């Protein structure tokens, strides 16, 4: 027999089972704590200090070895105010709503001031609360209170006053056990799918590397390139530095650089790293500036067949511009303009393992993850004759399209699994699906 339902009185929650309560999170939590709002210095050895990016669904899944470490002295000082314990929940205030970590390990660590540590009361099981904080009903509640987006800052007031659905402790236990099993299966499928995506990406890079170092004409006489990380190349090929066959233009770095108030709904394209998510410039998340602002900027004025290269952040990401006849780039990017080389061949070379290796070499010893355009200009590049450059580019266009299609299918599966997981959590924690 189906359970009896009642109206929760909350639009985004809808009906809940009879016997379940509606309350605010502040009524079922013993404390909300955070660390002092300053960043302690890193230590070579010490106590883990987790950033938002370190968080996993469970603390037992965290890569503790790669996390930031702080001194014992800083730990003792900061832990007076807040120290996570088993059963607590870490809630990220500055990430996508729903980024939580349930503490299921007994060890000393701290989290950054970007997170809150939530200590549940006896009225609620910590894991149930963790699942509820991942639900779309909680996200909707917070969004309505903050009038922000999923990347906004979730204030403490918004969190504590958010509504929660509260079953009995027995039912909470049943829900947690059910979701633990189901989510474990989904997470395993997600992990397998994401691993498959990474393997396809490695295959794509390997195919590109083979083509730009050995060509696509089968067996042929080879010679030493004279560069260790390139190895042998076809006898008739040459090699040079990229600066000899292309020009470089940095994004504007003067006082005229666009401020938030300079961006408009329509105008001249202003590209950022968000536009470099594929081999070709992606205009789906493009920012725009006025024509007057564009004319005031120096250096990188985009042309067709320019290659946009990330110098900071996602260093080495690049894409070719096939559509924009007018535009510019952020200061973290550089525009590479091919002169004596087929543009698509240059792009593929920059996507190869050979280019990645040189990126690593030039970045060795640099504290921040960034390059200069001068560095990239000094990359060695293989140089077939013009006709063979086009031949290689056309070959890679076809091969990479095949691999990209497989990657897209896997990425769609990831989206579907994540959507199903989110929907499942919502249905179960609000009682719409009985377990």
Q: Tell me the CATH number at 101.
A: 3.90.220.20
User: What's the gap between Cα 222 and its chain centre?
Assistant: 41
Same domain, 266 and 128: no
Q: Could you tell me whether strands 110-111 and 89-92 are parallel, antiparallel, or unpaired per DSSP bridges? A: unpaired
Per-residue pLDDT at 309:
96
Per-residue pLDDT at 1:
63
Mean pLDDT by 10 residues, the chain (435 residues): 88 94 95 86 92 93 94 91 92 83 94 92 96 92 67 74 95 98 97 98 97 95 94 96 96 89 94 90 92 89 95 91 93 94 98 94 68 92 97 98 97 97 96 94
Cα–Cα distance for residue pair 408/336, rounded to 1 Å = 28
Angle 348-350-354 (CA atoms, 0-180°, nearest 5)? Answer: 105
Same domain, 256 and 122: no
Measured in degrees and rounded to the nearest 5, phi and psi for residue 38 equal -150, 155
* Domain interval for residue 43: 5-166
Same domain, 74 and 159: yes
How many structural domains does the chain have? 2
Per-residue pLDDT at 82:
85
Same domain, 277 and 149: no
Asked whether residue 405 is domain-assigned, the answer is no
- Rounded to two decimals, what is the model's pTM? 0.85
Exposed, middle or buried: residue 18 (CB in 10 Å: 0-12, 13-18, 19+)?
A: exposed
Same domain, 250 and 350: yes
Asked whether residue 173 is domain-assigned, the answer is no
Angle 220-224-229 (CA atoms, 0-180°, nearest 5)? Answer: 110
Question: Counting every residue, how long is the chain?
Answer: 435
Asked whether residue 106 is domain-assigned, the answer is yes
Same domain, 52 and 141: yes
Asked whether residue 228 is domain-assigned, the answer is no
Asked whether residue 287 is domain-assigned, the answer is yes
CB 206 within 8 A of CB 426: no
Asked whether residue 27 is domain-assigned, the answer is yes
Q: Which of 166, 196, 222 is the last residue of a domain?
A: 166
Same domain, 155 and 243: no
CB 20 within 8 A of CB 166: yes
Asked whether residue 192 is domain-assigned, the answer is no
Same domain, 144 and 260: no
Per-residue pLDDT at 93:
85
Cα–Cα distance for residue pair 139/150, rounded to 1 Å = 8
Per-residue pLDDT at 150:
44
Residue with tokens 């499928």: 189
CB 97 within 8 A of CB 142: yes
Q: Which of 110, 145, 166 is the last residue of a domain?
A: 166
Half-sphere CA count of 235, side-chain side, radius 13 A: 4
Same domain, 28 and 122: yes
User: What's the gap between Cα 29 and its chain centre?
Assistant: 31
Q: Which of 166, 196, 221 is the last residue of a domain?
A: 166
Per-residue pLDDT at 231:
94
């Amino acid at each position: 027999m189906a359970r009896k339902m009642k109206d929760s009185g909350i639009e985004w929650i809808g009906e809940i089972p009879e016997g379940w309560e509606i309350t605010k999170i502040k009524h079922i939590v013993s404390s909300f704590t955070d660390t002092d709002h300053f960043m302690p210095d890193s230590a070579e050895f010490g106590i883990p200090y987790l950033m938002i990016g370190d968080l996993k669904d469970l603390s037992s899944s965290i890569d503790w070895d790669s996390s930031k470490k702080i001194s014992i002295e800083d730990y003792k000082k900061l832990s007076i105010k807040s120290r996570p314990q088993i059963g607590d929940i870490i809630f990220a205030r500055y990430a996508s709503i729903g980024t939580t970590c349930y503490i299921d390990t007994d060890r000393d660590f701290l989290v950054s001031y970007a997170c809150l540590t939530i200590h549940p009361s006896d009225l609620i099981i910590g894991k149930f609360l963790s699942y509820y904080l991942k639900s779309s009903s909680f996200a909707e509640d917070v969004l309505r209170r903050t009038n922000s987006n999923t990347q906004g800052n979730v204030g403490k007031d918004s969190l504590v006053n958010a509504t929660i659905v509260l079953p009995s402790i027995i039912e909470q236990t049943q829900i947690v056990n059910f979701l633990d099993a189901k989510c474990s299966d989904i997470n395993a499928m997600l992990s397998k799918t994401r691993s498959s995506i990474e393997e396809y990406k490695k295959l794509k890079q390997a195919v590109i590397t083979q083509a730009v170092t050995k060509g696509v004409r089968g067996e042929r006489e080879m010679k030493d390139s004279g560069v260790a990380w390139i190895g042998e190349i076809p006898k008739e090929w040459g090699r040079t530095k990229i600066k000899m066959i292309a020009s470089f233009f940095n994004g504007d770095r003067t006082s005229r650089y666009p401020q938030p108030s300079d961006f408009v709904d329509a105008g001249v394209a202003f590209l950022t790293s968000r536009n470099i998510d594929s081999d070709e410039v992606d205009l789906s998340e493009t920012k725009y500036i006025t024509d007057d602002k564009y004319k005031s900027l120096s250096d990188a004025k985009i042309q067709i067949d320019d290659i946009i290269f990330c110098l900071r952040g996602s260093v080495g990401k690049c894409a070719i511009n096939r559509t924009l006849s007018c535009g510019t780039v952020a200061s973290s990017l550089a525009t590479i303009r091919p002169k004596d080389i087929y543009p698509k061949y240059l792009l593929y070379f920059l996507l190869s393992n050979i280019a990645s290796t040189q990126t690593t070499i030039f970045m060795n010893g640099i504290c921040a993850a960034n390059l200069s355009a001068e560095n990239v200009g000094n990359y060695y590049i293989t140089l077939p004759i013009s006709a063979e450059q086009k031949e290689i580019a056309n070959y890679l266009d076809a091969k990479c399209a095949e691999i990209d299609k497989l990657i897209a299918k896997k990425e769609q599966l990831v989206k579907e699994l994540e959507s199903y997981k989110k929907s499942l959590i919502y249905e179960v924690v609000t009682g719409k699906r009985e377990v």
